């Protein structure tokens, strides 16, 4: 897997690079600012980019803005935001094209390397993975018209766990229900969101999560 790493802190960036290389990833570029990230994505077309939110010059949301710009230049370019901060100002833009291949994890809550790598591979494959705190912050920004009208509280729980990257089996364990019960909830979610069977289950799953996060 070919990866671009964008983080202005050279020590953290080097650590991420070494970790990725231990898992047989090829780091094609290491950058420390937003403009360099966009340029690296355009040049290398990586399988995924790992991006910090706060980078020079203002150290606010340059990483997110650069990720959005990169996906505009290279539509659907997979991006995993890895940051200490939840910054939702441009997260909606990152989700807006409904292509999937996006994630947002918090550095201080990534305690399992294997889970991080699993999430990275999921984003590279076109899926989504979001920290629960990020999901909660995005939900605070609900629009006046709720596209999730009709979705039951339990189905919202299922959608939230799907957004965090859980499999059906993992959702069943978290909610203490059977696998068939989870599958029934997901079929109901797909139907209520108008996600029809012509699409693959993977594509419908991604679209359902993106609808949930943009709701």
The range of the structural domain enclosing residue 63 comes to: 2-131
Would you say the C-alpha torsion 75, 77, 83, 86 has a positive or negative sign? positive
Q: Using CA atoms, how far apart are residues 75 and 135, in angstroms rounded to an integer?
A: 23
- Which candidate, 96, 114, 116, 113, places its Cα nearest to that of 104? 116
User: pLDDT value at position 34?
Assistant: 92
Residue 143 has pLDDT above 90, yes or no: no
User: pLDDT value at position 9?
Assistant: 92
Domain boundary among 131, 164, 196: 131
Residue 208: Cβ-neighbour burial (10 angstroms; 0-12, 13-18, 19+): buried
Q: For residue 102, is it within any domain?
A: yes
- Classify 74 as helix, strand or coil: coil
Whether residues 113 and 28 share a domain: the answer is: yes
Q: What is the mean pLDDT of residues 142-157?
A: 74
Whether residues 11 and 113 share a domain: the answer is: yes
Q: For residue 165, is it within any domain?
A: yes
Whether residues 176 and 95 share a domain: the answer is: no
Query: Pairing between strand 102-106 and 48-51?
Result: unpaired
Whether residues 47 and 114 share a domain: the answer is: yes
Whether residues 124 and 194 share a domain: the answer is: no
Q: For residue 147, is it within any domain?
A: no
Whether residues 43 and 112 share a domain: the answer is: yes
pTM of the prediction? 0.72
Share of the chain above pLDDT 90, in %: 51
Query: Pairing between strand 128-130 and 102-106?
Result: parallel
187 touches 193 (CB < 8 A): no
Residue 140 has pLDDT above 70, yes or no: no
Count the domains in the chain.
2
Share of the chain above pLDDT 70, in %: 92
More confident residue, 88 or 38: 38
| CATH number, domain containing residue 111 | 3.40.50.2300
Whether residues 93 and 189 share a domain: the answer is: no
Q: For residue 137, is it within any domain?
A: no
Query: Pairing between strand 2-6 and 48-51?
Result: parallel
Q: Point out the least confidently predicted range of 33-47, 85-99, 139-153.
A: 139-153
List pLDDT tens digits, range 186-198.
Answer: 988 988 887 876 6
Q: For residue 108, is it within any domain?
A: yes
Q: What is the mean pLDDT of residues 132-140?
A: 78
User: pLDDT value at position 144?
Assistant: 44
Residue 53 has pLDDT above 70, yes or no: yes
**Position 200 confidence tier, pLDDT thresholds 50, 70, 90:** confident
91 touches 130 (CB < 8 A): no
Whether residues 123 and 163 share a domain: the answer is: no
């Amino acid at each position: 897997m070919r990866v671009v790493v964008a983080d202005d802190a050279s020590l953290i960036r080097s650590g991420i690079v070494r970790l990725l290389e231990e898992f047989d990833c090829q780091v094609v570029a290491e950058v420390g600012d937003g403009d360099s990230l966009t340029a690296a994505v355009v040049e290398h077309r990586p399988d995924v980019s790992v991006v910090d939110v706060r980078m020079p010059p203002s150290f606010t949301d340059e990483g997110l803005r650069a990720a959005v710009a990169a996906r505009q230049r290279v539509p659907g370019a997979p991006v995993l935001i890895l940051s200490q901060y939840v910054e939702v100002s441009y997260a909606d833009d990152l989700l807006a094209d409904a292509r999937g291949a996006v994630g947002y994890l918090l550095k201080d809550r990534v305690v399992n390397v294997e889970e991080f790598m699993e999430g990275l591979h999921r984003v590279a494959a076109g899926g989504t993975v979001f920290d629960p705190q990020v999901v909660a912050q995005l939900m605070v920004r609900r629009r006046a018209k709720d596209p999730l009208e009709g979705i039951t509280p339990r189905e919202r729980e299922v959608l939230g766990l799907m957004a965090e990257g859980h499999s059906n089996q993992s959702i069943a364990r978290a909610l203490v229900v059977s696998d068939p019960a989870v599958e029934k909830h997901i079929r109901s979610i797909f139907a209520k969101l108008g996600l029809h069977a012509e699409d693959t289950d993977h594509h419908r799953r991604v679209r359902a999560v993106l609808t949930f996060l943009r709701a």
